[in-house]
Chains A and B, each alone.
Chain A
Amino acid sequence: MGNPYLEMRGVSKRFPGVQALTSVSFEAYAGEAVALIGANGAGKSTLMNVLGGNLQSDEGEILIGGQAVSINSPLAATANGIAFVHQEMAMLPTMTVAENIHISSFPTRAGFIDRKAMEASTAEVLTRLGCHFTPDTRIQVLSTGDRQMVEIARALLSKPSIIIFDEPTSSLTSREKARLFDVIRTLKTEGVTIIYITHFLDEIFNICERATVLRGGSTVGGGLLSELTTADIVHMMIGDVGLDTRSAKHSTQQREVVLKVTGLNRRGVIKDISFSLHKGEVLGLWGLLGSGRTEVARAIIGLDPIDDGQIEINTGSGLHPIRPREAQRWIGMVTEDRRNEGLLLPMSVKQNMSIANLRGLLSRWKLIDNRRETELATHFVNRLNIIISSLGQPVKTLSGGNQQKVVVGRWLELNPPIFIMDEPTRGLDVGAKAEIRRIIFELAESGAAVLVISSEIEEMMALGERYLVMNRGQIVNELPGTSTKNELMGAAAGAAQME
């Protein structure tokens, strides 16, 4: 195998109050893809930001091709042949592909942009990536997958020998994903070293040769993927899941059905989705990313159109069929994308909590009753244990966990009988995750029906009383709440292997 092309030795990084990395070691060989895996907060991003020159480590050294290098800025990283494909794409929609790729340093002649040179070098990279759009195409008309290609093209422009992909598939369809993987394979044959950050295990067995697993800022394991199983990696990622974290599982047999979905279809996205959700139940919708979990939730509450299917909700007098758009009257939706879908960031905590319930707050004179607004907000801030300095505090200044609780609080004011929680704890720290889970239990105990979507198996196991396993837009299995971690992983992974 020879010597690794890239070595990071004993890298430590401390942020105020947190030891983000503790003597982490990482190595990668030329022409190979290394998966960097870990749960949220494991230190993946910190480590890669050190490599990309965005952060300086407190201790440790970096060797490239056996030579110690100092990477103290993103520019130095580029000079050392390191390119970063960020998770969040930086696209300028009204500009062309060529302009987007060259934006930070245009080729110029006598002060004017050398359009020919710019388009030629763009065309070259696009051909290499197997893209079929031209350099003068505007970004506006490109699909997400093609935009991802533009992002990669931008990284390739500096002819890097190491490319870091940070969660590149999070917004791609399965077809776009396949294309991305083809590109990565091509890059590997050209001798480029790939570092692939993800927490989706199906992808790494597909595309990577080696894995390094981080947990709590330390390297906890890794090795050749040909010698590892999914279960090994899951075990390294999350450690031993104690059985005590599991909730008491109730039988759902006798409880009444509050949401019944029959034969929900959206062509190319979800197929023949049927299930029932009971009062007081926490139902886990489990599957790998891209299996259609979020799409089911969006279809039920009318965010995406459906081709056919029926949604029935118990509105108090038995099940009644409703149109998806109406579903929002009975279903509270909490998503991972707090900032875009739920919260009005500059507005205060109080205003955010009351915004969906203003009609319920009107006084006799049809004006908003300030006192009741404050009372209700105070009540739910206390009940949800939201940490704020005052009710007037702008939501944007809150931590992720507290923001998420504000979203939940808003729904609690309306008191819907059904909740859909799509990755409700994504991006939150461990303490906040536990709080959100506690709230989900309380909701269920008080009689609400909760449908939970999560990519974290630990969370799924802690919450679910019953699981629906999804793959490629279909529900392929139903598992009881007593299922073990391996059974759950097996159901999702096994389903994935059928592809």
Chain B
Amino acid sequence: MVQGTQINRFNLTTLRDFLLRQGFNVVLVVVVVFYALTAPRFFTVANFISLLHAAAPMMVIASGLALVVMTGKLDISVGSTAFLTTSVGTILMVRNGVDPITTLVILLAIGALIGAVNGLIIVVLKISPLIATLGTMIIVRGIGLEITKSTTISLPEEVRRLGNASIGPIFVDILIALAIMVIIHLVHTRTSFGRWLIALGNDQDTAARLGIRVNTVSFMSFVLSGLLATIGGVLTLVQVGAASPSIGSGLEFTAVSVIVIGGISLFGGEGSILPGALRGVLILEIIRNGLNFLGADPYAYRFVNGAIIFIAMYADSLRARLPVTTRTFEAPDTPKSG
């Protein structure tokens, strides 16, 4: 600081870079510390377990959506997919007496099918992903409302009991969600498919010129997104104990916020499942959880959530605009030749 303006300016840029790269880690720490100080029962093991329990479905859904976003696309049909599949599942079990395992297999197939339809619309018809999945979002929710007649249908008692299944103090769905995140993380970072997702997110034409089957990769990312949205929906269903029109409503926007807060660029080509997407889920859930403890107006959460999305989006766009300094790597001993 004493050394003059040059040093000061340098510090400012590094501060800006630091905030852009680590900003949401800072937010996470600040929020946790703030709640820990103001809400006495916030900073307890029991609360963190219940927090993770509540966040489990979103961890799974966001992991799937993240794969699509990494290619530079978007899938906003995830909430409707969760709603339709859980509605179908409940009806199958309650009215048709299908056993839970068979039901789960059928639901996964439906989820993958919705994803496949999204993928085909985007890959074959070349419709923008946002519009295509907006369409399926509306249609799929419509089908769900039709078959349930917009009513709430309770799960069979023996299935409902699974909602509180736990190993020791830890709810089983937390373990399932974390396991799925780890698997998707490995797919993203350690398989060819994962790298191709990032390649598409960099530039689809370039990826195509490099011999990547861009259509197949895009298609698969939507199938996985549909599949994981279904699993997330099932976790929610078991927690709630009934299929209701509120399941998955607005979920797509929460999922997109999670993605953005998790540092997964909506421009594609950047981001991670672990820690990225997980961090995004936790930040949103902690804020919601803490506001409850503070006895805040339940609608306040929406304002806070909205503000956070704006900040996250702005940070993302700033990051994308950040000039990248390139340099030529030369041998240290090479004399400079004019």
What is A's interface to B at a CB cutoff of 8 Å?
74, 86, 90-95, 99, 103-106, 108, 111-113, 115, 130-133, 137, 140-146, 175-176, 178
Contact = CB atoms under 8 A, between A and B. Distances in A.
Contacts of B330: 132
B270 interface: yes
Interface in B207-239: 207, 209-212
Contact of A99 (B195, B203, B211): B195
Contact of A95 (B195, B209, B331): B195
A95 B199 contact: yes
Interface stretch (B22-30, B153-161, B321-329): B321-329
A113 B211 contact: no
8 contacts: A92-B203, A92-B207, A95-B269, A103-B210, A103-B211, A105-B192, A108-B191, A113-B190
Dominant SS at the B interface? loop
Given A92-B206, A178-B337, A141 B326 contact: yes
Given A132-B329, A140-B326, A141-B325, A92 B269 contact: yes
Q: Which of B195, B203, B329 gathers most chain A CB within 10 Å? A: B329
Contacts of B210: 90, 92, 103-104
B206 A91 contact: yes
Nearest to B192: A106
Contacts of B324: 93, 140-141
Interface string B133-156: 000000000000000000000000
B198 A92 contact: yes
A93 B268 CA distance: 11
B186 interface: yes
A113 B198 contact: no
B206 A133 contact: no
A146 B327 CA distance: 9
B50 interface: no
A106 B193 CA distance: 10
Contacts of A146: 328-329
Nearest to A140: B324
Interface in B154-203: 186, 190-192, 195-196, 198-199, 201-203
A460 to B, nearest CB: 27
Given A92-B202, A94-B202, A113 B327 contact: no
Contacts of B196: 103
Interface in B310-332: 324-332
B190 A112 contact: yes
Nearest to A126: B329
A278 B332 CA distance: 49
Nearest to A144: B326
Nearest to A103: B210
A94 B330 CA distance: 22
B192 A132 contact: no
Contacts of A104: 210-212
Nearest to A75: B211
A133 B192 contact: no
A137 B209 CA distance: 22
A112 B186 contact: yes
Contacts of A175: 328, 337
A94 B270 contact: yes
A423 B180 CA distance: 56
